């Protein structure tokens, strides 16, 4: 280790597994996985949390404790990585962890400076620190640039892969994506780091990850780990983040797998936890200890955690939202109450002349079921005043979408007024189906600081509502069973303007998640005119989605940072 401009830089060009010290053989090895909830840029908070777990592990005579990818700074740091001060603070964090590592090894992720002038300035690295020394740093080789990931924007890929020898064991140290190119079969990459590691015959693999939650991804991780173990025949220790960073949610689910490809343990989802494992017992595992994975329950827990962390990490406490009597606002309200507590949730019921009596009654019943504050604020007077003011401009033109959107924008204005007056954050209640086809009003029902269900299709919202009612009727049954309506004109129903949600959702999934074009979707048996209409609506409404709140991501292709489309594109428009 040497210093350049008062910053430490590590050199490993001539390091081999034989050059590392402390190779005294031990019969047993205890390895701890700490899946923790980090906060991007909160170096003091992250490092203190890490050191607290190190102290616990030291007291229990753990040999190695492992933390997640870029744990010191939080993931994804994005353009914070372009600030030298940010990198300096990360290095200070590593130094504090080094000083705390007496009689234990710590595996932890942090950015490191690339000392070579050519290439990117940084590496995404896994540190192996033991007995107050940095023994080795393994840089990440495979830098994803798909979906929410943009790592090649910031990091230089690794080209050197050595093992760490510690207390009689040879360890292959890997970072997240580096185990996702099994046998060099992933067309995104040309290097398979573990194929290189295996030339030196490691006793185990440690992988530190920041793997976000989405539908089905937990099962994909298990299948990926099993494929690695079946290929390499060594035990795997895989540690993930837990917690939410704005729209990106990390589910935990850290894994330990025996050399036979059997799941020794799968850690809890959406919960911080540190678990200690005996390496010999891992290799004796005979029965899979895999958790059940119900899509709706996992989605529920992800959204609750997403709301809680958004507020907690921004030092907000209270929210406000419009409760309309519809399914979307009902589900959003239940999530908010579970995440923040009933005392921190306030809803406004804002009926107009087109609102049905049952919508008001259903909303009141839901608010009382949740024991949250509700206020009834009729918008008739404001709406009529607006129409009167606009009459010189509108004249005797017939009622149309202008008057409908006027009601939505009045409601948005009232919510923002309460937000400004009391410091409550407005929660957006739009779902993915409506956002996809532009069935929402900018500066009206699309306003808010966070879109809670913006990555749930309409039918998934209904599934979530039924899940919330699995033990007792929290959401009044009438909200779930009545036809959905915006109630912005007489006897309005969503089906007046949109296809049946079951068909709409399936076509949207094929286009958004599966990236299938119109001909491919039509070949699945859908009506050609319907497909063309829906896809055109998705594309021409991109400008609306650019102006909306971040949506909590629970699918493999959420609107926002994971789906980057041009606003003025001509394709299918």
pLDDT by residue (tens digit) across 539-556?
Answer: 999 999 999 999 999 999
The mean pLDDT of 114-140, rounded to a whole number, is: 96
Helix (H/G/I), strand (E/B), else coil: 180 = coil
The answer on pLDDT for 23 being more than 60 is no
The answer on pLDDT for 149 being more than 50 is yes
**298-492 domain in CATH 3.40.50.20?**
no
477 is catalytic: no
Of 151, 169, 170, 176, which one is the catalytic site residue? 176
Segment (H or E) for 99: helix 84-99
Distance CA 152, CA 9 (A): 21
Of 30, 66, 69, 169, which one is the catalytic site residue? 69
In the chain, where the domains are located:
29-284, 298-492
Phi, psi at 275, each rounded to 5°: -125, 140
Phi/psi region, residue 84 (left: phi>0; alpha: psi -120 to 50; beta: rest), is: alpha
Question: How would residue 25 be classed by pLDDT, with cut points 50, 70 and 90?
Answer: very low
- Provide the pLDDT for residue 27: 53
Q: Write down the mean pLDDT value for the chain.
A: 92
Q: How far apart are the first and last CA of the chain?
A: 57
The closest of 101, 235, 255, 248 to 172, measured between CA atoms, is 235
The answer on pLDDT for 15 being more than 70 is no
> Who's near 523: CB < 8 A, 6+ residues apart?
none
> Who's near 538: CB < 8 A, 6+ residues apart?
436, 437, 508, 511, 512, 572
The mean pLDDT of 131-141, rounded to a whole number, is: 97
The answer on pLDDT for 8 being more than 70 is no
Topology at the third CATH level for domain 29-284? Nitrilase/N-carbamoyl-D-aminoacid amidohydrolase (3.60.110)
SS3 letters across 341-386: CHHHEEEEECCCCCCCHHHHHHHHHHHHHHCCEEEECCCHHHHHHH
The mean pLDDT of 99-115, rounded to a whole number, is: 97
Per-residue pLDDT tens for 308-367? 999 999 999 999 999 999 999 999 999 999 999 999 999 999 999 887 788 899 999 999
Distance CA 324, CA 479 (A): 10
The answer on pLDDT for 19 being more than 90 is no
Per-residue pLDDT tens for 377-401? 999 999 999 999 999 999 999 999 9
Angle at which helix 458-468 crosses helix 327-340, to 10 degrees, equals 50
Per-residue pLDDT tens for 467-507? 999 999 999 999 999 988 877 778 877 777 788 999 999 99
Distance CA 252, CA 270 (A): 6
Percent helix, strand, coil in the chain, to 5, is: 40, 20, 45
247 is catalytic: no
- Provide the pLDDT for residue 148: 92
Phi/psi region, residue 466 (left: phi>0; alpha: psi -120 to 50; beta: rest), is: alpha
Distance CA 367, CA 385 (A): 30
- Provide the pLDDT for residue 483: 86
487 is catalytic: no
Distance CA 100, CA 36 (A): 18
Of 140, 169, 226, 458, which one is the catalytic site residue? 140
- Provide the pLDDT for residue 185: 86
**DSSP at 156:** P
- Provide the pLDDT for residue 3: 32
> Who's near 175: CB < 8 A, 6+ residues apart?
69, 109, 124, 125, 126, 138, 139, 140, 141, 207, 208, 209
């Amino acid at each position: 280790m040497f210093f350049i401009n008062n910053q430490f830089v590590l050199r490993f060009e001539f390091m081999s597994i034989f050059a590392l010290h402390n190779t005294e053989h031990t019969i047993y090895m205890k390895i701890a996985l700490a899946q923790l909830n980090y906060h991007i840029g909160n170096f003091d908070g992250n490092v203190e949390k890490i050191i607290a777990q190190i102290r616990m592990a030291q007291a229990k005579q753990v040999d190695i404790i492992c933390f997640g990818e870029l744990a010191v700074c939080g993931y994804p740091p994005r353009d914070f990585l372009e600030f030298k001060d940010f990198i300096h603070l990360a290095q200070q964090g590593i130094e504090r962890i080094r000083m705390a590592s007496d009689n234990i090894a710590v595996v932890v992720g942090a950015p490191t400076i690339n000392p070579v002038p050519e290439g990117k300035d940084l590496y995404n690295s896994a540190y192996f620190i033991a007995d107050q020394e940095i023994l080795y740093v393994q840089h990440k080789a495979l830098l994803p640039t798909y979906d929410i990931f943009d790592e090649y924007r910031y990091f230089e890929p690794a080209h050197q892969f050595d093992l760490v020898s510690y207390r009689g064991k040879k360890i292959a140290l890997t970072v997240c994506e580096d185990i996702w190119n099994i046998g060099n079969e992933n067309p995104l990459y040309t290097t398979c780091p573990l194929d290189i590691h295996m030339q030196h015959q490691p006793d185990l693999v440690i992988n530190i990850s920041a793997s976000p939650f989405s539908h089905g991804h937990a099962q994909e991780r298990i299948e990926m780990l099993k494929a690695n173990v079946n290929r390499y025949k060594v035990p795997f220790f895989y540690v993930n983040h837990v917690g939410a960073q704005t729209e990106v949610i990390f589910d935990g689910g850290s894994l330990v797998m025996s050399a036979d490809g059997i799941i020794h343990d799968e850690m809890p989802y959406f919960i911080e936890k540190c678990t200690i494992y005996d390496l010999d017992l891992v290799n004796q595992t005979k029965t899979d200890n895999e958790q059940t994975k119900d899509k709706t329950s996992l989605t529920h827990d992800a959204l609750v955690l997403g709301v809680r962390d958004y507020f907690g990490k921004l030092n907000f406490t209270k929210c406000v939202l419009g409760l309309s009597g519809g399914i979307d606002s009902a589900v959003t309200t239940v999530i908010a109450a579970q995440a923040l507590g009933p005392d921190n949730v306030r809803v406004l019921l804002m009926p107009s002349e087109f609102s049905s009596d049952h919508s008001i009654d259903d909303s009141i019943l839901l608010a009382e079921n949740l024991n949250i504050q509700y206020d009834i604020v009729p918008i008739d007077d404001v709406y009529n005043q607006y129409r009167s003011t606009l009459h010189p401009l509108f004249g005797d033109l017939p009622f149309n979408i202008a008057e409908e959107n006027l009601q939505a924008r009045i409601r948005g204005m009232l919510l923002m007024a309460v937000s400004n007056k009391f410091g409550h954050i407005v929660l957006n209640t739009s779902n993915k189906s409506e956002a996809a086809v532009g069935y929402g009003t900018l500066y009206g029902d699309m306003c808010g600081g966070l879109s809670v269900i913006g990555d749930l299709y309409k039918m998934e919202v209904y599934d979530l509502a039924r899940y919330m009612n699995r033990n007792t009727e929290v959401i009044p049954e009438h909200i779930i069973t009545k036809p959905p309506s915006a109630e912005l004109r007489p006897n309005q129903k969503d089906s007046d303007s949109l296809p049946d949600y079951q068909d709409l959702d399936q076509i949207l999934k094929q286009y958004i998640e599966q990236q299938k074009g119109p001909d491919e979707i039509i070949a699945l048996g859908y009506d050609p005119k319907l497909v063309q209409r829906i896809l055109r609506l998705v594309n021409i409404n991109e400008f609306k989605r650019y102006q909306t709140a971040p949506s909590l991501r629970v699918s493999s292709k959420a609107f926002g940072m994971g789906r980057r489309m041009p606003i003025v594109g001509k394709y299918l428009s």
